[in-house]
Amino acid sequence: MTTKRTLVSLIEGDGIGPEIAAATVKALDAAGAQVDWERVDAGLAGVERHKDPLPQATIDSLKKTQVALKGPLATPSGGGYRSVNVTLRQQFDMYANVRPAKTIKGVPSRYENVDVVIVRENTEDLYAGVEHYVDPRRTAAESIAIITKFGSERCIRYAFEYARRHGRKRITLVHKANILKMSNGLFLDTGKEVAKEYADIQFDDMIVDATAMKLVLQPERFDMIVTMNLFGDILSDLTAGLIGGLGVAPAANIGDSGCAMFEAVHGTAPDIAGKGIANPTGLMLSAAMMLDHLEQRDAAARLRKGVIAALANPETRTGDLGGKTNTAGYTDAVIRLMD
Ligand code: NAD
């Protein structure tokens, strides 16, 4: 049976984005992915070409294709425009950000046997965009964390459903409800309620500071974590560090609207952009998650096989992982080792 070809919006992104996107597209072709690309801009490329960090054409493309592969986008700290990443996740209501971190054999790391999936709420919390200066001289500012029962429940439910689909045994809800009694208390209480419907999945909760320590001391204790936006953002960089670094960590943004967007956990890496040395693994593994989502499982398996085999050998992995090759050399190895 031939697989139906799917049109996918491709946002190459800023910094190392174009380099890792080109590598990923090449590897996807070689893996036999049945996708056609609609290339659209966002971030700095959007500003340069359309004077808009999130051009209407990009929004229209996502509305049409309902699936996107996205490179990292630069968001200047402080003033300027709002994060395009946050806007895209909110606009398409992709409320769950799924970030798996699994030890990859051969990749240098301080730990073995890490296998944890973080489900991060993606639309609320301190990222809801409710911020203002308190005084006209701008010497004090306030950012408000919005947590709703609705937003908490659908994300936590997504985590439980994910656990069932993927044979996961335990979910740890991470919070700071001892101090943030109302907002984080609401997330925790909602989690306890939802958990009652999933007797087959173990459920516990942990305060975020203790979680940070336990993840470092005993990461194999964790199976899945569900948490709010800010804690999820921070802890998923931590879990990326447990498996070798940001270069290898993938992510998926999913909601009920049907739209899904796949991107690496890392940012634009401006320090190495344009040098041809970036590690495209995070985006490649995000693309494998995209192929699973599109039910192109054979191509996903081929891509993962090539990635894992190339990472196992220092000759064929990139410098950030102690390897000897560059983006192009690694990509060629991934393709060669797929079969
Ligand atoms: P970063 O993830 O870009 O880089 C952190 C460090 O990790 C750097 O030393 C970098 O060289 C290294 N690194 C990251 N990805 C790598 C890769 N694929 N291969 C090899 N090394 C890699 O984080 P940052 O420097 O804090 O952020 C830079 C910019 O990226 C900021 O504008 C930030 O807003 C943006 N950002 C975007 C996203 C996204 O689009 N999803 C996520 C995080 C940060």
Confidence of residue 60 (pLDDT cuts 50, 70, 90): very high
Confidence of residue 217 (pLDDT cuts 50, 70, 90): very high
Cα 289 → chain centroid: 10
Site to substitute for ligand 1 among 47, 229, 238, 246, most atoms within 8 A of C-beta: 246
Triad 215, 242, 330: Cα angle to 5°: 165
Q: What's the CA-to-centroid distance between 199 and ligand 1, angstroms?
A: 39
CB-ligand 1 contact for 316 (6 Å cutoff): no
Nearest-CA residue for ligand 1 atom 5 is 269
Query: Does residue 249 surpass a pLDDT of 90?
Result: yes
Distance of alpha carbon 303 from alpha carbon 291, whole angstroms = 10
Beta strands 96-102 and 250-254: pairing type? antiparallel
pLDDT score, position 2: 65
In the predicted model, what is the mean pLDDT of residues 236-262? Answer: 93
Torsions phi, psi of 265, nearest 5? Answer: -70, -30
Cα 143 → chain centroid: 24
> What element of type H or E holds 224?
strand 224-227
Q: What's the CA-to-centroid distance between 282 and ligand 1, angstroms?
A: 11
Query: Does residue 237 surpass a pLDDT of 60?
Result: yes
pLDDT score, position 80: 65
pLDDT score, position 90: 84
Distance of alpha carbon 122 from alpha carbon 151, whole angstroms = 9
Query: Does residue 214 surpass a pLDDT of 70?
Result: yes
Q: What's the CA-to-centroid distance between 247 and ligand 1, angstroms?
A: 9
Q: What's the CA-to-centroid distance between 324 and ligand 1, angstroms?
A: 21
Q: Round the average pLDDT of the chain to a whole number and report it.
A: 94
Tokens representing residue 150 in the block: 């609705």
CB-ligand 1 contact for 74 (6 Å cutoff): yes
Query: Does residue 1 surpass a pLDDT of 70?
Result: no
pTM for the structure as a whole: 0.93
Active site residues: 127, 176, 209, 233
In the predicted model, what is the mean pLDDT of residues 234-255? Answer: 94
- Tens-digit pLDDT profile for residues 92-148: 999 999 999 999 988 888 999 999 999 999 999 998 888 999 999 999 999 999 999
pLDDT score, position 79: 62
Site to substitute for ligand 1 among 41, 127, 268, most atoms within 8 A of C-beta: 268
Query: Does residue 24 surpass a pLDDT of 80?
Result: yes
CB-ligand 1 contact for 99 (6 Å cutoff): no
Structure letter (DSSP) for residue 15: T
Structure letter (DSSP) for residue 113: S
In the predicted model, what is the mean pLDDT of residues 147-170? Answer: 97
**Amino acid found at 31:** A
In the predicted model, what is the mean pLDDT of residues 186-212? Answer: 98
Nearest-CA residue for ligand 1 atom 39 is 72
